[in-house]
Amino acid sequence: MANSQAANHKRHARGQSFLIQIKFRQDNCWQGTIQWLEGQKTCSFRSMLEMLRLMDEALEKTAAPEDKQETRSWETEPRGTVETKSPIPGQRQPG
């Protein structure tokens, strides 16, 4: 029974909590602070994207190896796997 409780705690410990305080909303962007509760760190952010990147960084640092997912990047995207869309209406075709 003790092993079952310990395993349960490990699974729950992977989740991370953040306290977000929006101080300003300027140019349709949020500025404020984010506190990573488990990591006991606080950082200011200048946009929602920056806030999400801070959250993602915290989750990456605490993720178990089996939970880590490879994200796509311009460098790792295999060539020829991206489906091209039809040209923009009115755009001339090359050649």
Does residue 31 form part of some domain? yes
Does residue 49 form part of some domain? yes
What domain range includes position 53?
A: 16-64
pTM beyond 0.85: the answer is no
What is the number of structural domains in the chain?
A: 1
Q: Check the CA dihedral 63-8-42-40 and report its sign.
A: negative
pLDDT-derived band at 89 (thresholds 50, 70, 90) equals low
Does residue 95 form part of some domain? no
Question: Average per-residue pLDDT in the chain?
Answer: 76
pLDDT in tens, 2-25: 444 433 333 333 689 999 999 999
How much is the pLDDT for 3?
A: 46
Does residue 83 form part of some domain? no
- Token digits of residue 24: 């300003």
Does residue 86 form part of some domain? no
Does residue 44 form part of some domain? yes
**Strand order across the beta sheet in which 29-36 lies:** 18-26, 29-36, 41-45
Does residue 48 form part of some domain? yes
Does residue 1 form part of some domain? no
pLDDT-derived band at 62 (thresholds 50, 70, 90) equals confident
pLDDT-derived band at 76 (thresholds 50, 70, 90) equals confident
